[in-house]
Each structure stands twice: as structure tokens, then as C-alpha cells.
Structure 1
Amino acid sequence: MTKPLFIGSEIYRNSSYGDWHPLRVPRVSTVMDLSRALGWLPVDQYITSPTAKPAALTSFHTAEYVSALSKAEKDQEVPAEVKERHHLGIPSNPIFPEMYRRPATSVGAALLAGELLRDGGVVHAPGCGTHHGMPDRANGFCYLNDPVFAIQSLFRNGCRRVAYVDIDAHHPDGVEYAFEGDPNVLMISIHEENRWPRTGALEDRGAGNVWNLPVPRGLNDDEMLLILNKLLLPLVQNFQPDAIVLQCGADAVEEDPQSKLSLSNRSHYAVVRELMPLSDRLLVTGGGGYNPWSVGRLWTGVWGVLNGIDPPSDLIDEAQAGLRDIKWTGQRRFKEPLPHWITSLIDPPNNGPIRDEVRGSIGQLVRRRRATQQV
């Protein structure tokens, strides 16, 4: 069996959306540094992401938008009509020096992942996961929609059926827009209810392969385990996909400042472990995640799981030193990192009661699944 491959880039280390933006924090660079400190990222498993060319981006985005995005990076400003039409230069999608190259690098990784998985395998691309991007506009910190390009690439490279699973705290409105009418794409999203972009209602189903599960604030590990076993895994197993794309956003963990969910990273690791045997091709991306310690530790732990390594509860000194060096300025929930953010890649479990509203939503979708199978 071939070893899992990690697609990364130094562009994530040296670019930021701005000192005030939620994406000011280091993320992918932390994953790369931690993985190397732990000896998990040898040269034969690391691939530097290419940058997608403008022509490749028009399979989902409009040519006018791609041109406007490229020009905005060059000029470092946009006229009012571009801001209005393409949502560039607004607070959530600001002007910054790498605003074209950085997302184009993520798309390059997504396109390459589809090619690398032609004959099977596992790819981790933590710089990917920008699931809000729309054809003609930036949306929710996402200038380009790399999950869409990953799915398109998988289809071009021999896949007939792709399962897209999204456990980010926010609904993947851009991905649903792209594939809601495609019976060959199974889309499952577990996201916080009444959280931006406030799409992905329980009743939304597209052509029958869209499954949205909005969950209440405070979602705990026990509730997520029930979702995994009763809904997520049966849906994927029944679909029998040629490939799985897992958007593994880290903003559903309890200490993330951009959501009110309460998972430990153990829930994310469990989803990865359980999905791995269900297809010969697996791409795991990043996504949301705005606490630099939480997101860096989680995506590093995911890389360990993909390699058959249990995330350690006691980190070596070199890895701890890297986590201590993280700087997080501006408004945030925690003034100082919690001790286990430095010493461990695995959170304490966050167990709790399974609430009736969670059971009810799962039950509604389970009944729909059974009815669909009987047709």
C-alpha cells in the first residue's frame, strides 16, 4: 500500500488576511512544522502544491471573476463596482498581497490530489477546504472553491461517484451550489444551526443526494458519535463512492472563536478513522479553524491518523516548543493557551447527554434514507 501524501506550501506561512481578520493566525505552517518535528513528514510523502493557472479556474468560476481577483492582487485595490459585484475588498474578503496566489495554490493542490488519487491512495491537503466560494464572487473568507475543483478532478481521473463529507461548523454553501443537482455526488454536511451562511436546512436535499444536518450549540462528542454511526457512515456505505473528500474544518472544536460547538478533536479523528476503509481514494482537506493551537494540533493529528499513528498525548520537546512559539494577537477567547494545547495532540473527551433535538434531526434523516433506499 502506498504511503499517504501531504500537499503543502510555504505560501501559507508568509501570508495573512490582515492583522484584524480571523485568518490572521498560522495554520498550515503549524501543521507542517509539527509533523516534521514528530518525524511524520519525510520528503517522500511531502509534495509542494502547484499554483492553478487562470484558465483552470473557469471550470467553476467565471472568467470575469478570475480576472478581477488577479487584478485586485496586482493593484491592491478594487473599484466600487468590483467590490459590489465580486465581494472583493469587503471585511470578510479583504485585499491582501497574496489574495490570488494563495487560493490558487489551494486549487492547485485540489487539482493535483485528483490526479494523485487516480489509482487509489490517501492525500492530506490542509490548505484546502474553502467551501464557500461562489462562481462569480468571493464568499466567507473563500476566494476560490477548491473542494469543487477537487471533485471535478476526481471525476476527470476515473471516479464515477464521489462522496463529499463536511464537518466544518459552517455549511458548505458553495459546494452545495455546485453539485446539488448531481446524482453522482453525495454531499453530507454537519454544521451549526443558525450560524453564517444560514443555509443547509434539514429539509434541503437537492436532487436527493444532499444531506444537511444542522446541529445545536454545544454539540458534544457523544452526540457526534451518534451522528457518525447512525447517519454519516450508513449514507457513505450505501452510496459506495469511488472517492471520499472530507472537509475537516477545525472550527467545531469547543475553543474555536467562530462557532459555539463543543467537540474535542477526538471526534474529528474518529470520523477520519471510520471513513478511511470506505473508499480506495480519500482526500482530507482543512477548512475553518481560527484558534491557532487547536487547528494546528487537529490537522497534525489527522495526518497521524492517516498514517496509522495515534495522536500522542505527550508531545516531544521540539513539538512543544513550536506550539509555545505561536503568537495570537487581537481579540480572542483565551488570553493564554490551555496546558494541553502545548503538551498533547489529543483533547480531553467532551462527553455529554444526547439531546432530544439531536436525536430528532438524526431520526428524520434516517427515515428519509430508508425511504430513499426502498424506492
Structure 2
Amino acid sequence: MGSEIYRGSSYGAWHPLRVPRVSTVLDLARSMGWLPPERFRASPRAKPAALTIWHTPDYVEALRRVEEEGAADEATKMRHGLGTVSNPIFPEMFRRPATGAGASLLAGELLRHGGRIHNPGGGTHHGMPDRASGFCYLNDAVLGILSLRRNGAARIAYIDIDAHHMDGVEHAFAEDPDTLLISTHEERRWPFTGALEDRGVGQVFNLPVPRALNDTEMAHTRDRLILPTVEAFAPDAIVMQCGADAVEEDPLSRLTLSNNAHWGILSALMPLSPRFLLLGGGGYNPWSVGRLWTGNWAVLSDQEIPDRLPPGAEAVLRNLRFEGNSRGRNPPEHWFTTLRDPARPGPLRAEVSDRVSALAARVGAMPGRVL
């Protein structure tokens, strides 16, 4: 699911979300022959009333009003976090997030009888009920979970591998025993939440990871924590937030994963539930985001990722620009010619394995566990 609104919309010339992301994924997938018309659905824009199943009416109205007026008074800025450096005022500041939210809401309906959906414009996991936070004006992940539940999914597993903690989603579901929350995120990084000890009612599994997390450590986390926990929970639906900011080339984290780590988790999770909603998320290097999320669609739709891209896909990547960042000055050749990164293995550090073991020990005590 996608929309052309992402192609011409930007948070501003110097904001991290100035880079093209969803449009690159659509262009790459189409150039690969992976996105025929029958597999694409234009994202609807959620109506204000639909957003109030979680967001407050006052906040939704403020967001709509500030977009219309192009300005926020001091009271609105302080109350709702609109017009800040992180959450600036820009021409599509209601319509763009409402499009991502509309896709996740519709996905819950379309998945009533099973299937897989990719919403790369989603994954805005920091949005709060009554304020914007961390580049996220709405929380489509929360809205998608609520839509899945409304359409028959009683038990929902949410897995988030963004470099930043899923604070908005945890705020919504930490006390809900029918929603499993698993988050891997860089420690001591904004929003400075998601401590190892946080538990809610027992379905919250937060794994803060150290800098330089490598593919070996992420595979260990997948096999010893993520998969056993999801299997034990036996969800009716899985929602996965696949932020691309945990890869080595991203400017807003200090993790060192390759995109293979993300694809490995995605492919392992897919058989564990009849309904699967895959979301985007963070990611601020246009090449790494476009290549990772296009590969996500390949995994989700059972396509084979080639070693070398065809000329049309290569042209899409060569036409990208990353102004104002040193990583955009001399991009390596493989950013243009391949989707798959070289693997980035490394040592399994005790600070990772010990934390994984501590969380894994809690799996058997989850309330409502299905044996």
C-alpha cells in the first residue's frame, strides 16, 4: 500500500525526513516487476473521526487546523508538540500521516481472512494520543493493531526492530495481555525509554542493545528471544515495524546491521500467523531505506532478490540524492547495483546474550500463554 503524496512531500530542507523513501520503494518494486497493479492498493487518507479511536479529538482537530493555517500558536505548540524542530509545520502535515494511518486502518480490514500487507509509509511508533513526537504526528501502528482487533484478531504480536524505542505503542498496549510487544532498540538513545526491566502486565519485552550491534547478535536475538516468544504467544496477527535506521549507514543510530538481519527476522516471523502487517519506520539514508524496504516486499511477496539489479532499478538508485550529509557525497557502488548488503557478522557480546537470556526466561511466565 502506498501513495504519491510521499513523492512530493518533505518535512523541510534540513529535517532527517527530507529524503525520499516510500516513492523509492514503489519505483524499485515496479522496476523489478514485483508490483503489478493487482498487488497495489492506493492508501486512503483516514478521516478525522477514524483517527479518534485512539487519538484525542482535540489533537486531531489541532493537527488538521495547523496544516490548513500553516502556523501554530504557542499554546498549540506546547500542548500538542506541533511546530517544533522535530515535528515541523509543512504543507501535508495532516494529510501525509493520515495517509499512512489510513493504510494501516484499511489493512486491518483487508487482513480479516488472512494475508500479508506492506505499508512502508507506516511505522510511526512515537505518536501519542494527544501530541506529535519523534517525527510522528499520528501512530498508525496503534491504529493498525486496533483495526486488526476490530476485524477478528484477538491476540496480536507487535515486533519493532527500529533503532528507537516504540514508546507510543507501549503507551497504548503495555497493560493489554492480548498484545505482545517486543522491541529491540539502541540503548541510551532518544526517547530514552524501553528499559530491560519494563514489563507492563508481562507481555512487554524490551531489549536495549549496545552500539555496534552486528548481524550475529541480531540473529541470536531472533532465534533465542523473538521467535520463541512469538511462537509461545500464538498470535492471530503479527504487526512488524521494520525501521531501517538500525543499519550501519544510517545517520541517526550507531548500530551496524546489514539489511540481511531485517530480512532474516521478517522471513522467520511470516509463518507464525495467518495475518501479517509489515510497516516502515525510521530510516534516514535514502539508499539504505529504499533497498531494505524493497527487499522487505520481495520477502513478503515471495520474490527472489537478484545479485545484480536490472538497469531500470539501478537508475532509480542512481537518481537519488542525499544533500547535506557526508554519506551522500561518495556513495559506494553497491548502493546502486544491489539490494542486499554484505553480511556484517561479529562477536556475540555478553551484554547482548545476557540480556536476551534474561528476557527469554520470562517467556514461560507470560499470562495467557497458549501451550
Q: TM-score range by the shorter chain?
A: over 0.9
Matches within 5 A, 1:152-171: 152-171=146-165
What's the % identity of the aligned pairs?
Answer: 61
- The CA deviation at 1:369 is 1.9
- The CA deviation at 1:366 is 1.4
> 178, 189, 194: which is aligned to 2:188?
194
**Deviations 1:60-86 (CA, angstroms, capped at 9, x unpaired):** 111111111001100110001101111
Q: Contact 1:257/1:332 (CA < 8 Å) preserved in 2?
A: no
The letter for the 1-side match of 2:27 is D
Instruction: Note the residue ranges of structure 2 that are not aligned, 5 or more in a row.
Output: none
The letter for the 2-side match of 1:271 is I
The letter for the 2-side match of 1:114 is G
| Structure 2 CA distance for aligned equivalents of residues 316 and 331 of structure 1 | 27
Structure 2 CA distance for partners of 1:348 and 1:243, relative to 1, 3 Å: same
**Deviations 1:228-250 (CA, angstroms, capped at 9, x unpaired):** 00000000000000000000110
Q: Secondary structure at the match of 2:239?
A: strand
Q: Contact 1:252/1:263 (CA < 8 Å) preserved in 2?
A: yes
| Structure 2 CA distance for aligned equivalents of residues 111 and 372 of structure 1 | 28
Partner of 1:141: 135
**Deviations 1:206-262 (CA, angstroms, capped at 9, x unpaired):** 111010000000000000000000000000000000000000110000000010000
Partner of 1:3: none
**Considering only aligned residues, what root-mean-square deviation do their CA atoms show, in Å?**
1.2
Q: Contact 2:321/2:328 (CA < 8 Å) preserved in 1?
A: no
The letter for the 1-side match of 2:291 is R
Q: TM-score, normalised by structure 2?
A: 0.98
Structure 2 CA distance for partners of 1:21 and 1:374, relative to 1, 3 Å: closer
The letter for the 1-side match of 2:298 is G
1:9 paired with 2:3, answer yes
Partner of 2:354: 360
Q: TM-score, normalised by structure 1?
A: 0.97
Structure 2 CA distance for partners of 1:373 and 1:181, relative to 1, 3 Å: closer
Structure 2 CA distance for partners of 1:105 and 1:372, relative to 1, 3 Å: closer
Partner of 2:21: 27
1:252 paired with 2:242, answer no
| Structure 2 CA distance for aligned equivalents of residues 197 and 374 of structure 1 | 30
Partner of 2:89: 95
> 109, 120, 124: which is aligned to 1:126?
120
**Deviations 1:280-310 (CA, angstroms, capped at 9, x unpaired):** 0000010000000000010000100112123
Partner of 1:304: 298
Instruction: Note the residue ranges of structure 1 that are not aligned, 5 or more in a row.
Output: 1-6
Partner of 1:320: 314
User: How many positions carry a matched residue from both structures?
Assistant: 369
Q: Contact 2:202/2:367 (CA < 8 Å) preserved in 1?
A: no
> 249, 267, 274: which is aligned to 1:273?
267
> 113, 137, 143: which is aligned to 2:107?
113
- The CA deviation at 1:339 is 1.1
The letter for the 2-side match of 1:32 is L
Partner of 1:4: none
| Structure 2 CA distance for aligned equivalents of residues 261 and 101 of structure 1 | 32
| Structure 2 CA distance for aligned equivalents of residues 278 and 217 of structure 1 | 30
Q: Contact 1:113/1:150 (CA < 8 Å) preserved in 2?
A: yes
> 40, 61, 72: which is aligned to 1:67?
61
